[in-house]
C-alpha cells in the first residue's frame, strides 16, 4: 500500500481537533497537558514547513518519560480514572508527533472520539453534551480534511465544506443513535476505576459544628430538583431529610460516636439500623414526587419524612428514616418516592434508639444543664417544658444571622445560649436538642434542606445548597417523633419565604457570589428557562434507566415480549434505511462533479452561446484551438484557461490558487 502523507492543511485540522478535544479536560486534569498538545502539534507543523526534522526515537522516548514523570509529580493516584485519562491524553498529544502518514492521523482522530466519550465521566450537563457534539463535528471534519490530497476551494471554503459534510454525516446518524438509546438494554458497568472525585464531597456533611451550615448556605450550587406528581405542598412543609445526628461530643454533632466511611454506614444500616414497616403508622395524604439528585460524592438522599415507597434506584432506609444510596453519588440519580408526612413514627421507642437520643457528654456546658433541670422541675409536663424553651428563644434577644460569632472550643452551648445569642439554624437546633436531653427528653438533630425555588417554566422545585437547614425531632409518648424547628420561632420567614427573605436586612445572602445571575433581576426569566432545559436533560436523558425504559416500552407496545420489541426495532431500522436511501440519493445517484469540471462546463457553455460548440469526445486542447480561431481577441484567455484546467486534471497536486485563477479567467471572457 503506497504511503499517503498528511498535508499541511490536514495537520491544521489535527491541531484544531486536538485542542477542541483537550480543552474541557483542563477543568479536571493538570493544566500543563494543554501546552503539551500545542507543542506536539506545532512541532509537527514546523516539520511539514521544513523548519525542523522528524524527531528521532530517543527524542520521543525522552518526551514520553518526561510526560509520565510529570503525571507522577502532579499527584495523581494510580490506578484511578484521572490517572488513566491523563495518560491517554498524553499519548494523544505525543502521537501527533508521528502523524506523518494518514494512518497515523487516523489513530489520533479515533483516540479523539474515545476522549469525547471519556469526558462524560467528568461532566454530564447539557453544556457538556453540546460541547461533545461540537467536538464530534470538528473531529469528523479533521477526518475528512486528512483524507484530502488537494484543496479544491479556498481555505475558508474548504473549512465550511468539511464542517458541513461532517455535520451532515452526524445528522444522518441521529435516527440510529436515538433507536439505540431508547431500545438498547440498560446494562450496569462491567468494571470501574477509582476516582479522585470520591474525595471531593459537596453538600450536607455527616457532622455539624456551629457555622458549618451557614458556610454551606453561601453557595448557590444545585443540590437536587423535585417534580411533584400531585399538588405541591406548602413551602413551610418542605423539610428534605438527609441525616440524623445523634452524638454530641461537646463541639460537633455526629451520626455515631465513631467515624464510619459511607460503605461502612451502609453495612451498619443493613445489619443493625434498618427501617421496619411496623415503626410507622401511615396517616394523612400521600405526597408523590420524583427527585433528580446532583453528583455529591456522598450517599445521602433527601426526601420528605417518612418516605414509604421508593423506586428507580437501589437505596437503603435506616431506622431514623434517612434514605441512602448504596454507593456515593458520582453521577445524577433519579429517585421516585411517596411520603406520608403526617404519619406517626416510633410510637414505641426501642431502648437503643432512646439511648442514642439521650446521649450527652459527661461534663461541660454547666449553665445550660442547670437551666434545663430547673425549667423541667417547674414544668407541669414535657410539652410545657418544650413550650417554655421555645418561648425563651422567641422572647429573649436571639437573632438569626449568617454571620454568627465564634463560640470557642469549650462550652459552646453555654456560649450561644447565654452570651452570643446570635446564630444560624445549626446553633438553634443543637442548643434545643441539648436542652431536651439535659431534661431527660429524647431528641435529635436532623440536617437536610428546607424549602426550594419553584420554577414556573418547568413546574418543578429546585433545591440549592443555600437551602441547607437543621431542625430537631423530639420523642413524645403517644405521638412518637415530633418535628420541631426552633429556627421557625426566631425567623419564621426562613421556612415560609426562604433564606433570602430571612437575612434580607443584614444583606448576607450569597454575599460571596458577586457575579451571580440571581442578583440580576431581569435575567431571572432566562435563568429559569435554562434551568428547566437542564432539568429536562437530566431527567429524560441522564435519568433514562431500566425502569424508565420499561415504562416507555409498555406505553408503546403494551405487553412486553422479545418478538414485539424486535419487530418494532426492525421496523424502525427499515424506516431509517429507507430514509437514508432517499437522502443520499440511492434511487437516483448524483455523481459529484469536481470543481475544475464545473468551471470547464461553464466555460464551454459560454462559448456555446456564441456558436462554438464542443463536440463529443473533443479534447480540451482541440476545442481551445477551435475557440481561439473563432474568437481571436480572446485567444490568450482561452489558451490559459485550458492550460490551467488540464493541469488540475492531470497534475492534481496544486493549491487552491489554481481554482481561483480559473474563476478569474472565466470572468475575463468578453465577446
Query: Is the model's pLDDT at 366 over the cut of 80?
Result: yes
Mind spelling out the 3-state secondary structure of 385-437?
A: HHHHHHHHHHHCCCEECCCCCCCCCCCHHHHHHHHHCEECHHHHHHHHHHHHH
Question: Kind and range of the H or E element at 245?
Answer: strand 239-245
* Dihedral angle of Cα 644, 649, 652, 655, to the nearest 10 degrees: 30
- Neighbour count for residue 330 (Cβ, 10 Å): 15
- Judged by average pLDDT, the poorest of 158-172, 214-228, 592-606, 653-667 is 653-667
C-alpha cell at 307: 418516605
Answer whether 0.85 is exceeded by the pTM. no
Q: What pLDDT, on a 0 to 100 scale, did the predictor assign at position 262?
A: 66
Cis amide leading into 31 (omega within 30): no
Question: For the segment 377-400, what is each residue's pLDDT rounded down to a tens digit?
Answer: 999 999 999 999 999 999 998 999
- Residue with grid cell 435575567, as numbered in its chain: 523
C-alpha cell at 290: 420524583
The answer to whether the beta carbons of residues 463 and 451 sit under 8 Å apart is yes
Band of pLDDT at residue 199, cut at 50, 70 and 90 = very low
Percentage of residues in the chain having pLDDT higher than 70: 87
Size (the chain), residues: 671
Tell me the catalytic residues: 425, 469, 485
Question: For the segment 225-266, what is each residue's pLDDT rounded down to a tens digit?
Answer: 999 998 999 999 999 999 999 999 988 999 887 777 766 777
Q: What pLDDT, on a 0 to 100 scale, did the predictor assign at position 454?
A: 92
Q: Is the dihedral of CA 570, 572, 576, 579 positive or negative?
A: positive
Question: For the segment 46-65, what is each residue's pLDDT rounded down to a tens digit?
Answer: 776 666 666 677 777 777 77
**Of 51-60, 330-339, 550-559, highest mean pLDDT:** 330-339
Q: What pLDDT, on a 0 to 100 scale, did the predictor assign at position 1?
A: 44
654 HSE (CA, 13 A, CB side): 19
Give the mean model confidence (pLDDT) for residues 417-439.
94
Q: What pLDDT, on a 0 to 100 scale, did the predictor assign at position 10?
A: 78
Amino acid at each position: 500500500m503506497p504511503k499517503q502523507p498528511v498535508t499541511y492543511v490536514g495537520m491544521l485540522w489535527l491541531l484544531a481537533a486536538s485542542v477542541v478535544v483537550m480543552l474541557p479536560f483542563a477543568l479536571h486534569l493538570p493544566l500543563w497537558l494543554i501546552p503539551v498538545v500545542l507543542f506536539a502539534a506545532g512541532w509537527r507543523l514546523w516539520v511539514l514547513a521544513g523548519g525542523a526534522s522528524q524527531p528521532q526515537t530517543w527524542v520521543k522516548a525522552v518526551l514520553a518519560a518526561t510526560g509520565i514523570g510529570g503525571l507522577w509529580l502532579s499527584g495523581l493516584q494510580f490506578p484511578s480514572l484521572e490517572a488513566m485519562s491523563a495518560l491517554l491524553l498524553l499519548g494523544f498529544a505525543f502521537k501527533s508527533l508521528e502523524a506523518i502518514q494518514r494512518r497515523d492521523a487516523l489513530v489520533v482522530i479515533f483516540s479523539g472520539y474515545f476522549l469525547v466519550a471519556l469526558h462524560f465521566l467528568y461532566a454530564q450537563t447539557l453544556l457538556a453534551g453540546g460541547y461533545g457534539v461540537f467536538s464530534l463535528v470538528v473531529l469528523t471534519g479533521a477526518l475528512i480534511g486528512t483524507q484530502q490530497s488537494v484543496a479544491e476551494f479556498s481555505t475558508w471554503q474548504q473549512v465550511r465544506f468539511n464542517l458541513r459534510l461532517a455535520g451532515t454525516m452526524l445528522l444522518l446518524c441521529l435516527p440510529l443513535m436515538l433507536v439505540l438509546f431508547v431500545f438498547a438494554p440498560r446494562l450496569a458497568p462491567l468494571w470501574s476505576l477509582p476516582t479522585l472525585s470520591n474525595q471531593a464531597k459537596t453538600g450536607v456533611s455527616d457532622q455539624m459544628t456551629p457555622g458549618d451550615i451557614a458556610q454551606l448556605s453561601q453557595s448557590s450550587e444545585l443540590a437536587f430538583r423535585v417534580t411533584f406528581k400531585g399538588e405541591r405542598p406548602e413551602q413551610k412543609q418542605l423539610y428534605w431529610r438527609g441525616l440524623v445526628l445523634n452524638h454530641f461530643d461537646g463541639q460537633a454533632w455526629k451520626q455515631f460516636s465513631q467515624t464510619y466511611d459511607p460503605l461502612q454506614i451502609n453495612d451498619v444500616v443493613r445489619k443493625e439500623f434498618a427501617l421496619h414497616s411496623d415503626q410507622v403508622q401511615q396517616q394523612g395524604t400521600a405526597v408523590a414526587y420524583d427527585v433528580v439528585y446532583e453528583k455529591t460524592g456522598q450517599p445521602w438522599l433527601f426526601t420528605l419524612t417518612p418516605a414509604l415507597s421508593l423506586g428507580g434506584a437501589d437505596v437503603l432506609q435506616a431506622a431514623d428514616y434517612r434514605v441512602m444510596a448504596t454507593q456515593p453519588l458520582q453521577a445524577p440519580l433519579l429517585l421516585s418516592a411517596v411520603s406520608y408526612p403526617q404519619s406517626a413514627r416510633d410510637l414505641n421507642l426501642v431502648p437503643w434508639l432512646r439511648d442514642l437520643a439521650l446521649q450527652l457528654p459527661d461534663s461541660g456546658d454547666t449553665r445550660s444543664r442547670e437551666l434545663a433541670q430547673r425549667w423541667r422541675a417547674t414544668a407541669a409536663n414535657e410539652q410545657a417544658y418544650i413550650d417554655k424553651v421555645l418561648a425563651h428563644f422567641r422572647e429573649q434577644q436571639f437573632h438569626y444571622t449568617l454571620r454568627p460569632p465564634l463560640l470557642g472550643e469549650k462550652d459552646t452551648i453555654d456560649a450561644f445560649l447565654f452570651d452570643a445569642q446570635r446564630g444560624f439554624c445549626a446553633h438553634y437546633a443543637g442548643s434545643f436538642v441539648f436542652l431536651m436531653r439535659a431534661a431527660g427528653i429524647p431528641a435529635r438533630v436532623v440536617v437536610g434542606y428546607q424549602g426550594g425555588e419553584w420554577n414556573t417554566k418547568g413546574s418543578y422545585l429546585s433545591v440549592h445548597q443555600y437551602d441547607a437547614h437543621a431542625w430537631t425531632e423530639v420523642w413524645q409518648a403517644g405521638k412518637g417523633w415530633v418535628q420541631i424547628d426552633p429556627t421557625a420561632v426566631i425567623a419564621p420567614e426562613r421556612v415560609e419565604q426562604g433564606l433570602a427573605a430571612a437575612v434580607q436586612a443584614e444583606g448576607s445572602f450569597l454575599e460571596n457570589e458577586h457575579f451571580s445571575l440571581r442578583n440580576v433581576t431581569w435575567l431571572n426569566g432566562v435563568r429559569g428557562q435554562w434551568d428547566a432545559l437542564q432539568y429536562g436533560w437530566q431527567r429524560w436523558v441522564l435519568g433514562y434507566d431500566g425502569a424508565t425504559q420499561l415504562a416507555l416500552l409498555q406505553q408503546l407496545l403494551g405487553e412486553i415480549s422479545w418478538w414485539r420489541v424486535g419487530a418494532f426495532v426492525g421496523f424502525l431500522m427499515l424506516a431509517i434505511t429507507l430514509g437514508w436511501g432517499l437522502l443520499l440519493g440511492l434511487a437516483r445517484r448524483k455523481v459529484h462533479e469536481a470543481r475544475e469540471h464545473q468551471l470547464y462546463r461553464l466555460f464551454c457553455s459560454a462559448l456555446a452561446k456564441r456558436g462554438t460548440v464542443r463536440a463529443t469526445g473533443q479534447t480540451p486542447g482541440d476545442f481551445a484551438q477551435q475557440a481561439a480561431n473563432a474568437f481571436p481577441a480572446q485567444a490568450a484567455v482561452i489558451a490559459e484557461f485550458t492550460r490551467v484546467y488540464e493541469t488540475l486534471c492531470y497534475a492534481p497536486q496544486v493549491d487552491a490558487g489554481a481554482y481561483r485563477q480559473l474563476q478569474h479567467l472565466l470572468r475575463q471572457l468578453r465577446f
